[in-house]
């Protein structure tokens, strides 16, 4: 093996004179939430998209009611609840209520097509679904091979049964909490099964590293079907006992207004968000914030410089993935190096294999994928380290630099896109003979999904994009389509993507 990092690197993230606290104190996410509610006087904890505030006491009561509705409908701890809808307090309350009831939450992007939703439903077999879209509700019902209760985000239409004083907040660290799907290179979705221990350890690590305290308020513009918004933004807020301002979507003008009103101390974004803030001049409105964090895709050093010029601070770049939540971070105190992702967070062990692959282990790392033993065998080394598929190196100061990916993953606008899935969608068009999909560098998107097509006859690019959009979420649809006479291949017939 190559370079190993040891626990001494955690010190780069901790205040002087302190050690890493017990990452798993309170054992579960509800255990952490209820301790904060029990030990502190009520405080404004969650601002809904309509600008109304929900106090911690009201949040405790409303999430408890949500948990009782779910259990009263006959769901049992360990069963899956599909959850999909726009960012709002109802979605957060349903999520928290499900975890307080001991259920496993299955977040689904509302932009998914019927094909994508059906694949997830058939694999995960949820017992119930809380969704905001009527069409998605119909897709879930049609795809489910077992009886499934489908209701709105408020859960009020769930069938009710007899359940006197159900037991809440009993989840243990090893119990599953989230089942988040990421597309596999074979086209079949793959579920990352995250436990309470995984989520609690990662949230606590960033609480420590980023000095996240009850005095902080996060402006959260990221979607809650993705681990950046849900696993870091929301879970981090709740585990810190802090406050969160929810926004239904990212809008530069809205961000500027919220920050100008005061009271916001934290902001998380992907590079495309920061690029929009810089280009509109609104990055300057973030000067009063204590901390800016960037993740989900590489942040171009030139953009980092522009952000620093307008805000007075370099955004803190960090590195994580669905299967591990947070892994590394630039330090809160000390040098934030553009183009690097810093040091391992508390609890994370990291090593570089001889080929440079980043491998990790720790309480934040999944034990395995949902019902995919073949994927687990590929994802873990024989001695138990998780293979990230990313290629990295350590600079002269020990900062991790990600230099490429051994897998073919494209990260566009902070979302994961796998070439095989896009290729299969485009390949069903009758005029497409061959197609290869790659990621091209883009200042706006980080990487731009690009399809190189060998066509049987002349076909317009917009026709191909429309065809792909019928089976793919918008962020997976190629932003650029090019045509070639043939695809470059090696002696074994495999496409040489590097030449594209």
CATH of the domain at 481: 3.30.300.30
Give the tens place of pLDDT for each residue, 128-157.
999 999 999 999 999 999 999 999 999 999
List of residues 6+ apart from 204 with CB closer than 8 A: 21, 23, 24, 25, 239, 346, 347
The whole-number pLDDT of residue 17 equals 72
pLDDT band at 454 (very low <50, low <70, confident <90, very high): very high
Q: Which residue has the tokens 């990662």?
A: 202
Q: Answer whether residue 184 shows pLDDT above 50.
A: no
The whole-number pLDDT of residue 185 equals 36
Whether residue 419 is contained in a domain is answered as yes
Q: Is 441 helix (H, G, I), strand (E, B) or coil?
A: strand
Give the tens place of pLDDT for each residue, 467-486.
999 999 999 999 999 999 98
32 plus 142 within the same structural domain: yes
302 plus 212 within the same structural domain: yes
Whether residue 158 is contained in a domain is answered as yes
Q: Is 370 helix (H, G, I), strand (E, B) or coil?
A: coil
Q: Answer whether residue 304 shows pLDDT above 60.
A: yes
Whether residue 383 is contained in a domain is answered as yes
Whether residue 1 is contained in a domain is answered as no
Range scoring the smallest mean pLDDT among 8-17, 284-293, 383-392: 8-17
Average pLDDT over residues 200-205: 97
Give the tens place of pLDDT for each residue, 334-353.
999 998 999 999 999 999 99
Whether residue 188 is contained in a domain is answered as yes
Domain final residue, candidates 350, 374, 403: 403
- Looking at the structure of the chain, the number of domains it has is 2
Dist CA 81 CA 74 (whole Å): 12
65 plus 200 within the same structural domain: yes
Q: Answer whether residue 21 shows pLDDT above 90.
A: no
179: domain range?
7-403
Looking at per-residue pLDDT, the higher value among 32 and 161 belongs to 32
173 plus 252 within the same structural domain: yes
Range scoring the smallest mean pLDDT among 21-25, 200-204, 226-230, 490-494: 490-494
Output the six-digit token pair for 391: 């290629």
Query: What are the distances in angstroms from CA 362 to CA 28, 380, 485?
Result: 16, 13, 48
360 plus 464 within the same structural domain: no
The whole-number pLDDT of residue 5 equals 61
Helix (H) or strand (E) holding 307: helix 301-311
Dist CA 255 CA 233 (whole Å): 16
Dist CA 320 CA 239 (whole Å): 18
Contact 454, 500 (CB under 8 A): no
Dist CA 177 CA 232 (whole Å): 14
The whole-number pLDDT of residue 131 equals 98
427 plus 345 within the same structural domain: no
3-state helix, strand, coil in the chain (%, to 5): 30, 25, 40
425 plus 284 within the same structural domain: no
390 plus 419 within the same structural domain: no
Whether residue 277 is contained in a domain is answered as yes
Q: Answer whether residue 408 shows pLDDT above 90.
A: no
446 plus 321 within the same structural domain: no
Count of all residues that appear for the chain in the document: 500
Find, among 175, 184, 192, 172, the residue nearest to 325 by Cα: 192
pLDDT band at 492 (very low <50, low <70, confident <90, very high): very low
Domain final residue, candidates 382, 403, 424: 403
150 plus 181 within the same structural domain: yes
Whether residue 2 is contained in a domain is answered as no
Find, among 79, 32, 66, 320, the residue nearest to 179 by Cα: 79
pLDDT band at 299 (very low <50, low <70, confident <90, very high): confident
Average pLDDT over residues 149-168: 84
CATH value at residue 234: 3.40.50.12780
369 plus 485 within the same structural domain: no
Q: DSSP per residue over 179-220, as a string?
A: EEEEE-TTSSEEEEEEEHHHHHHHHHHHHHHTT--TT-EEEE
The whole-number pLDDT of residue 84 equals 98
Average pLDDT along the chain = 92
58 plus 158 within the same structural domain: yes
Find, among 135, 22, 16, the residue nearest to 84 by Cα: 135
Helices 89-100 & 56-72, crossing angle to 10 degrees? 60
pLDDT band at 8 (very low <50, low <70, confident <90, very high): low
**Alpha helices, DSSP H, located in 86-133:** 89-100, 114-124
Whether residue 396 is contained in a domain is answered as yes
Dist CA 81 CA 182 (whole Å): 17
Helices 461-469 & 419-427, crossing angle to 10 degrees? 110
Domain final residue, candidates 403, 424, 456: 403
Look at strands 386-394 and 400-405 and give their pairing. Answer: antiparallel
């Amino acid at each position: 093996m190559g370079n190993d990092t040891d626990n001494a690197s955690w010190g780069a993230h901790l205040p002087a004179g302190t050690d890493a606290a017990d990452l798993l104190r309170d054992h579960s996410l509800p255990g952490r939430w209820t301790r904060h509610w029990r030990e502190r006087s009520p405080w404004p904890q969650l601002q809904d998209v309509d600008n109304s505030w929900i106090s911690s006491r009201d949040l405790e009561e409303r999430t408890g009611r949500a948990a009782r509705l779910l259990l009263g409908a006959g769901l049992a701890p360990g069963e899956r609840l599909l959850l999909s809808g726009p960012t709002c307090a109802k979605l957060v309350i349903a999520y928290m209520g499900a975890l307080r009831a001991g259920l496993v939450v299955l977040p689904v992007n509302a932009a998914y097509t019927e094909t994508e939703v059906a694949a997830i439903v058939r694999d995960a077999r949820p017992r119930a679904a809380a969704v905001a879209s009527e069409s998605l509700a119909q897709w879930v019902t049609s795809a489910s091979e077992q009886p499934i209760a489908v209701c709105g985000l408020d859960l009020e239409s769930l069938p009710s049964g007899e359940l006197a004083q159900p037991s809440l907040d009993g989840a243990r660290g090893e119990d599953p909490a989230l089942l988040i799907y990421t597309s596999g290179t074979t086209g079949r979705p793959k579920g990352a099964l995250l436990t309470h221990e995984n989520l609690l350890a990662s949230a606590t690590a960033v609480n420590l590293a980023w000095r996240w305290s009850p005095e902080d308020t996060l402006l959260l513009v990221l979607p809650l079907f993705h681990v950046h918004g849900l696993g870091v933004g929301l879970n981090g807020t709740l585990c810190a006992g802090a406050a969160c301002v929810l926004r239904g979507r990212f809008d530069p003008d809205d961000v500027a207004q919220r920050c100008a009103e005061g009271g916001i101390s934290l902001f998380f974004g992907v590079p495309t968000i920061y690029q929009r803030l810089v280009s509109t001049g609104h990055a300057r409105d973030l000067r009063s914030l204590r901390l800016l964090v960037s993740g989900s895709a590489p942040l171009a050093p030139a953009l980092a410089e522009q952000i620093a010029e307008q805000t007075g601070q370099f955004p803190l770049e960090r590195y994580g993935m669905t299967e591990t939540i947070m892994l590394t971070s630039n330090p809160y105190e000390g040098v934030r190096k553009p183009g690097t992702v810093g040091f391992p967070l508390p609890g994370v062990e990291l090593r570089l294999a001889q080929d440079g692959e980043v491998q990790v282990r720790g309480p934040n790392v999944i034990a395995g994928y949902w019902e995919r033993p073949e994927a687990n065998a590929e994802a873990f080394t024989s001695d138990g380290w998780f293979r990230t598929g990313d290629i990295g190196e350590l600079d002269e100061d020990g900062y991790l630099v990600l230099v490429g990916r051994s897998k073919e993953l494209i990260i566009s606008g902070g979302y994961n896109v796998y070439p095989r899935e896009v290729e299969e969608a485009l390949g069903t068009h009758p005029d497409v003979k061959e197609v290869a999909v790659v990621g091209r560098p883009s200042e706006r998107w980080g990487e731009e999904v690009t399809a190189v097509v060998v066509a049987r006859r002349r076909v317009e690019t917009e026709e191909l994009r429309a065809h792909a959009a019928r089976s793919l979420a918008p962020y997976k649809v190629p932003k650029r389509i090019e045509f070639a006479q043939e695809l470059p291949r090696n002696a074994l017939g495999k496409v040489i993507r590097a030449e594209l």
